[in-house]
Amino acid sequence: MAADHKHGTMDVTVQEKTFDGFINFVIKACTVIFVIVVFMAIFAA
């Protein structure tokens, strides 16, 4: 069973799309947090 598997033949397009979405979410969330911190540093001081 396992001997039939060829390395690199699995379709990973769904995993790649999920990972890309996760990375985009993290980048946007970090950008929003950074903007909020800068806003608070400017106006709450």
Total domains present in the chain: 1
What is the predicted pLDDT for the residue at 4?
A: 82
Domain of 30 in residue numbering reads as 19-44
Phi-psi sector, 8: left (phi>0), alpha (psi -120 to 50), beta: left
Q: Please indicate, yes or no, if residue 1 is contained in any of the structural domains.
A: no
CA distance 20 to 35: 23
Q: For residue 42, what are its two tokens?
A: 């400017």
Q: Please indicate, yes or no, if residue 36 is contained in any of the structural domains.
A: yes
Q: Please indicate, yes or no, if residue 3 is contained in any of the structural domains.
A: no
Q: Please indicate, yes or no, if residue 6 is contained in any of the structural domains.
A: no
What is the predicted pLDDT for the residue at 6?
A: 85
Could you report the per-residue pLDDT of 1-43, keeping only the tens digit for each? 567 878 888 889 999 999 999 999 999 999 999 999 999 999 9
Q: Please indicate, yes or no, if residue 25 is contained in any of the structural domains.
A: yes
Give the global pTM.
0.72
Q: For residue 26, what are its two tokens?
A: 């993290």
